[in-house]
Structure 1
Amino acid sequence: MRVNRFVSELAAFSGEAIFNPYRDRCDVYDRADAPAIRRANLRHMLSAAIEGGASTLWVARDLGYRGGRRTGLALTDEAHLEDARLMMGGARFRRATRGPAMAERTATVMWETLLRIKEPVMLWNVFPFHPHEADEPMSNRSHTRRERDRAQPFLYDLLDLITPQKVIAVGRDAAAAMEGFGVPVEPVRHPSYGGQTEFICQVETLYGLSPLAQAAPPARSHALL
């Protein structure tokens, strides 16, 4: 019931130049029932994180138009829905869009690393919606301070739902936004703009993973549900 209420409250959020994947439908790419599919994806992710005892929460800045805007899942594009299912113990995630599956560069780096951890990890954004430039829905912009303040209660509720032992903040913006929540925060470099190698090394250190050059490549599957 708490998960359903959380998702319903997310779906009620609206704002100018903001796409809410849990209530809004893209006329170009989305299926007719896309918002409902994305709400179900998030419910499955949350339930799997709670039932699987996910002890770590990864938090980035906001949803991107190639990733979470389409899937309803933070840091997850359509090319990695199957990987998300594997990490979260078989949770069922579906595509909400028509046409070819879209991949996002940041999500690709994230999931190559997440699959090496071999434990459930809850993924989230400080601003859990897709902010875009006015009249340019397929663009990304950083959310404003006012928008973050409006969405902050969702982060408090999520922390209460998941009760993580540690938060990994991906990027400086996420790290700054996570100050004052009373949860240990480990900042890591965002993998974009030349930060991929540093990001991977930092995550390897946090999780005690062998350096990538010594680790066997993870089995990959991109079958989509």
Structure 2
Amino acid sequence: MVKLTCNIDTKYDMFIIEGYNMITEFVEKIAQFNNFENVENQYSNNFKYNIITRNNLIQYMKIMLKMKPATILIGEAPGYNGCRWSGVPFTAEKNILIEYRKGQLFGITNGFKIRDIAKPQSEASATIVWEHLRKIDSYPLMWNAFPFHPHKKNNTESNRKPSNEELHTGKLILSEILKMYNINNIIALGNTAQETLAKIGITCNKIRHPANGGKNEFISGLNTELGILPSNAST
């Protein structure tokens, strides 16, 4: 797997260039995982829109590398309406069309792509997450314990929990993400994500998942974890 190495005397520009190369290599490597049943690897050549998903993940990871996030927000696995199409965790196509962080993150003009600009797919939880991140102007890195889309047999328009074997692969990939970004502050998004991470030996704090009426608790929990003052995080 990809390993990012940089000694303390390396200039910032060289660090970014090396990081960009590592990110591209990393995404190309994870695109090779095709050995699981009832799993869509949205970055694989076997996936119809892999050029879009790989492009978006590479662009997102490069931007986040420059932002130097101190926190990573981890879910269980991509859903069929969100990351499956966008390529970016916790993100739907509709979010891709919106420019965040003063125009530096997402947006077609920044090189991001979706299947059909006239008909972007939306996803309720992704909408809540990105609306709040934009409001507080704070952007943790986002990932999943299993980075591919697990689905029920013969139904790609469904979600299921990843198996232990799948989670083992997810752990190997996640470990490279943590090294690449040098992140120690890990937050699980919801009980299921926390339980999933515990299975692979990662202990972390959790916040409420925004789905099923959890919006306000999600916002409150994320603000607490990120150290956002109430005056800067009104709902």
**What's the TM-score, normalizing by structure 1?**
0.82
Q: Secondary structure at the match of 1:169?
A: strand
Residue of 29, 44, 47 corresponding to 1:25: 47
Shift of 1:98: 7.5
Question: In the alignment, is the contact (CA less than 8 A) between 1:38 and 1:96 conserved in 2?
Answer: no
Seen in structure 2, the aligned counterparts of structure 1 residues 182 and 119 have a Cα distance that, compared at 3 Å, is: farther
Runs of 4+ in 1 over 6 A off after TM superposition: 180-184
Seen in structure 2, the aligned counterparts of structure 1 residues 97 and 69 have a Cα distance that, compared at 3 Å, is: farther
Question: In the alignment, is the contact (CA less than 8 A) between 2:197 and 2:203 conserved in 1?
Answer: no
Shift of 1:97: 5.1
Letter in 1 for 2:78: L
Seen in structure 2, the aligned counterparts of structure 1 residues 126 and 211 have a Cα distance that, compared at 3 Å, is: farther
Residue of 60, 65, 76 corresponding to 1:50: 65
Seen in structure 2, the aligned counterparts of structure 1 residues 77 and 138 have a Cα distance that, compared at 3 Å, is: same
Q: Deviations over 1:56-98 (max 9, x none)?
A: 1111110011000001000000111134x42383453211357
Question: In the alignment, is the contact (CA less than 8 A) between 2:78 and 2:150 conserved in 1?
Answer: yes
Separation in structure 2 between the aligned mates of residue 90 and residue 71 of structure 1, nearest angstrom: 14
Question: In the alignment, is the contact (CA less than 8 A) between 1:21 and 1:72 conserved in 2?
Answer: yes
Pair 1:160 & 2:179 matched: yes
Pair 1:7 & 2:22 matched: no
Seen in structure 2, the aligned counterparts of structure 1 residues 142 and 50 have a Cα distance that, compared at 3 Å, is: same
Q: Deviations over 1:172-217 (max 9, x none)?
A: 22223434989883210111123222111111222324279x73x7
How is 1:81-160 mapped onto 2 (pairs within 5 angstroms)? 81-83=96-98, 85-87=99-101, 89-90=104-105, 92=110, 93-96=112-115, 100-160=119-179
Separation in structure 1 between the aligned mates of residue 136 and residue 159 of structure 2, nearest angstrom: 29
Q: Secondary structure at the match of 2:131?
A: helix
Shifted more, 44-53 versus 63-72: the winner is 44-53
Question: In the alignment, is the contact (CA less than 8 A) between 1:45 and 1:122 conserved in 2?
Answer: no
Q: Secondary structure at the match of 1:123?
A: strand
Q: Deviations over 1:91-141 (max 9, x none)?
A: 532113576111111111111221123133211111101111111111111
Separation in structure 2 between the aligned mates of residue 25 and residue 206 of structure 1, nearest angstrom: 36
Residue of 207, 210, 219 corresponding to 1:188: 207
Aligned residue for 2:8? none
Note the aligned Cα RMSD (angstroms).
Answer: 2.5
Separation in structure 2 between the aligned mates of residue 184 and residue 131 of structure 1, nearest angstrom: 23
Separation in structure 1 between the aligned mates of residue 201 and residue 165 of structure 2, nearest angstrom: 22
Q: Secondary structure at the match of 1:57?
A: strand
Separation in structure 2 between the aligned mates of residue 114 and residue 127 of structure 1, nearest angstrom: 23
Q: Secondary structure at the match of 1:187?
A: strand
| Percent pairwise identity | 27
Question: In the alignment, is the contact (CA less than 8 A) between 2:89 and 2:143 conserved in 1?
Answer: yes
Pair 1:73 & 2:73 matched: no
Q: Deviations over 1:40-66 (max 9, x none)?
A: 111111111111111111111100110
Separation in structure 2 between the aligned mates of residue 185 and residue 72 of structure 1, nearest angstrom: 25
Shifted more, 179-188 versus 198-207: the winner is 179-188
Shift of 1:21: 0.8
Question: In the alignment, is the contact (CA less than 8 A) between 2:60 and 2:105 conserved in 1?
Answer: no
Separation in structure 1 between the aligned mates of residue 104 and residue 71 of structure 2, nearest angstrom: 15
